[in-house]
Amino acid sequence: LQDEETRKDYDYMLDHPEEYYRHYYHYYSRRLAPKVDVRIVILVTVCAISVFQFFSWWSSYNEAINYLATVPKYRIQATEIARQQGLLNKTREKGKNRRSKEEIREEEEEIIKDIIKNKIDIKGGYQKPKIYDILLFQILLAPFYLCKYVIWYCWWIYCFSIKGQEYGVEEKLYIIRRYMKMSQSQFDSLEDHQKETFLERQLWIRENYEVYKREQEEELKKKMAMDPRWKRYRRWMKNEGPGRLTFIDD
């Protein structure tokens, strides 16, 4: 009874002995209550998720770099740049600094990967991770992002709904991305010629986008109809199918 709250519960029990279920509840709720501050638990959980996110993104980014280093198109370009900068000549030193072929090959590989990192802008899920994209910073910067969005939304309403200005290229692409229900990283990963096609077809206009969407759906159906794997799957669904019931006479 050293705690003030438990003393109050004890006094209440003496005054109301008939409410034994309530007394049991308060006793066990205090006995089994966690001793650690919930805020600390939440903070540690968010930090752990953020660390996992960051290292997971770095792993994906390195996988993308390792893959691009095996693609002849990018490897040849990176090797040519390394030769022009004299980086490959440094790995073939003679005399006391002479190294084994394996060490030279590994160093040349690292040089090529570094050039690919600097020259190629990888977008989408394999892009270079940024510390501001992890969960911890997203939570801390949430008020800033909210204020930024409110200001941007007011500016959009004022410019295009009230003043009736024409959309710029960025605004048109934004509307197209919203119609396609794509995130910013997904849309950025598209090729430039695809975005130019979107603008040429004026897909920021809803009617034009609906036509484009139907065309893409029809094209997808045709590809699936001609795909041998899809044909086999349709035959299997028709002849066998999951959960097909057969009745056999005894």
pLDDT in tens, 144-179: 999 999 999 999 999 998 988 999 999 999 999 999
Per-residue pLDDT tens digits for 215-235: 988 888 877 777 677 666 666
Find out whether 152 and 63 touch, Cβ atoms under 8 Å. no
**Quick check: 97 and 8 in contact, CB under 8 A?**
no
Rounded-to-integer distance, Cα 147 and Cα 113, Å: 40
What's the pTM value of the predicted model, to 2 decimals? Answer: 0.57
Closest CA to 50 of 144, 129, 128, 143: 129
- The answer to whether 201 and 208 have CB atoms below 8 angstroms apart is yes
DSSP per-residue string spanning 154-194: HHHIIIIIIS-PPP-HHHHHHHHHHHHT--HHHHHTS-HHH
- pLDDT single digits (tens) 45-99: 999 999 998 898 888 888 888 888 888 887 888 888 888 877 766 555 555 456 6
Residues, the chain: 250
Instruction: Please choose, from the candidates 46, 42, 111, the residue with its C-alpha nearest in 3D space to the C-alpha of residue 80.
Output: 111
> CA–CA separation, 184 vs 167, rounded Å?
19
166: left (phi over 0), alpha (psi -120 to 50) or beta: beta
- In this structure, are residues 188 and 125 in contact, taking their beta carbons and an 8 Å threshold? no
Q: Which element (helix H / strand E) includes 227?
A: none
Of residues 192, 173, 183, the one with CA closest to residue 121: 192
Residue whose entry in the numeric block shows the structure tokens 């090959």: 105
Q: List the Cα angle 46/48/50 in 5-degree steps.
A: 70
Q: If you average pLDDT over residues 96-106, what whole number do you get?
A: 70
What is the pLDDT at residue 70? 84
Q: What are phi and psi of 240, to 5 degrees?
A: -105, -75
CB 187 within 8 A of CB 177: yes
What Rg, from alpha-carbon coordinates, does the chain have? 32
Phi, psi of 115 (to 5 degrees): -65, -40
Min mean pLDDT across 103-112, 113-122, 169-178 is at 113-122
Q: What is the pLDDT of residue 144?
A: 93
